[in-house]
Amino acid sequence: MNILTLDAGGTNFVFSAISDGKQHGEVIKKPAYGDNLEKCLNTILDGFQGISQNLTEKPDAISFAFPGPADFNRGIIGDLHNLTAFRGGVALGPMLSEKFKTPVFINNDGDLYAYGEALSGTLPMINEELNKNKNQKQYKNIFGMTIGTGFGGGFVHDKILIKGDSIAAGEIWVTSNRQSADYNSEEGISIRAVRYFFSEFAKIDILDCPQPKEIFEIGIGKITGNKNAAVLAYEKLGRYIGDSVANIITLFDGIVVIGGGIAGAKELIIPGIKAELERDFNKLDGSRNPRLTHKVFCLNYESEMHEFLKPCHKKIKIPFSKKEINYDFEPRSAFMFSNFDTSEMISMGAYYYAVEKLKSKRNNH
């Protein structure tokens, strides 16, 4: 199948064509013009028109990620935070369907990111490595986190994207976080959070605070600055992320993969995540309760990846029988910052989402 895709960010739109599960030709990047509706819509039309020229045949569908709130099933975009020109409901899907005479599917970027990582990214990579190491365990659950301007996510179980009854599944950004009970998770898991944390530790005004990339470079000693404040800022971000990772693994019991603009600073973030995962709860009787029911590995650390991949099953006897069965005696989960490009994974998720929707439509007829 030939699918046109778009990863719509608040600043740039990235268009691509995917044919039979592989990117076809070069991507096209255009400014979003999010404060001018007519200009923004024309940019979207021009982008899809341009990328369609990469294909020799008419596209089977257009499928892409766009911010919410939205009625994604009907392709209607609501009042957006980052693209301020979208107000009062904009029928983006119907507009594109009419212009290109093809089915149009729109979904949340966090959902499509998770779908891409589940079908062509981190999850199959992990399962392939387990096979290579003769480990019989295969994972079917994945939660994809995207961290950049905002904090998003999506659930996938056994190649099925989990969608809520109100298209709200995976809206992790508005969950609470025990690092700061009066703020939602996104206030501590985003680009702006890093700057606020740095200003807090460096005791400077937020207006004088450097951007996250510069803060990271200060933290690793690449450029001069308040290194201690930089390290503490990213460690605090990691603790926020760790709390969300722990909650997801507890509820969903699978792999958590993290992508987005902040992922480049993972070496300073991971210590905070691990510290939170290892932080126990208090019990009423004064004793302590582990944060998690089973061990969670960080697969960005070579030593932990090696340990995670080791077979952890043994043969046990069936009572009153001569037969034996395999027993997986050590439940384990993992988190990792993705090795794959976030925008590419969103586009692959959009591709597979369109393929699934088209197949379902054909089967129902």
Beta-bridge partners for 337 = 258
Residue with tokens 């569908």: 61
Q: Residue range 184-195: average pLDDT?
A: 94
CA distance 142 to 114: 7
Predicted pLDDT of residue 57: 86
Distance in Å from the first CA to the final CA of the chain: 19
Kindly report, residue by residue over 232-287, the tens digit of the pLDDT.
Answer: 999 999 999 999 999 999 999 999 999 988 889 999 999 999 999 999 999 999 99
Q: Is the confidence at residue 20, as pLDDT, over 70?
A: yes
Kindly report, residue by residue over 40-66, the tens digit of the pLDDT.
Answer: 999 999 999 999 988 888 899 999 999
Looking at residue 292, its amino acid is L
Asked if residues 136 and 311 have their Cβ atoms less than 8 Å apart, the reply is: yes
Residue with tokens 């099953």: 313
Looking at residue 138, its amino acid is Q
Which tokens go with 339?
């090795």
Give phi and psi for 178, each to the nearest 5: -75, -5
The mean pLDDT of the chain is: 93
Predicted pLDDT of residue 363: 78
Predicted pLDDT of residue 24: 84
Higher pLDDT, 70 or 234: 234
Domain boundaries, the chain: 2-107, 122-339
Predicted pLDDT of residue 246: 96
Predicted pLDDT of residue 187: 94
Predicted pLDDT of residue 168: 63
Q: Is the confidence at residue 95, as pLDDT, over 90?
A: yes
Hey, which CATH number is domain 2-107, 3.30.420.40, 3.40.190.10, 3.40.50.800, 3.20.20.140? Answer: 3.30.420.40
Kindly report, residue by residue over 122-181, the tens digit of the pLDDT.
Answer: 999 999 999 999 998 999 999 999 998 889 999 999 999 998 776 667 788 889 998 888
Q: Distances in Å between the alpha carbon of 156 and those of 63, 150, 303, 340?
A: 18, 20, 27, 17
Predicted pLDDT of residue 365: 64
Kindly report, residue by residue over 320-337, the tens digit of the pLDDT.
Answer: 999 999 888 889 999 999
Give phi and psi for 63, each to the nearest 5: -145, 130
Which tokens go with 306?
């090696």
Task: Tell me the CATH number for domain 122-339.
Answer: 3.30.420.40
Q: Residue range 206-228: average pLDDT?
A: 96
Number of helices and strands (H, E) in the chain? Answer: 10, 19
Predicted pLDDT of residue 362: 79
Torsion of CA 32, 36, 37, 41, to 10 degrees: -40
CA distance 172 to 235: 20
How many percent of the chain have pLDDT more than 70? 99
CA distance 235 to 200: 13
Are 2-107 and 122-339 the same fold in CATH?
Answer: yes
CA distance 331 to 310: 12
Q: Residue range 211-224: average pLDDT?
A: 96
The residue among 215, 245, 71 whose CA lies nearest residue 145 is: 245
Residue with tokens 């939660």: 143
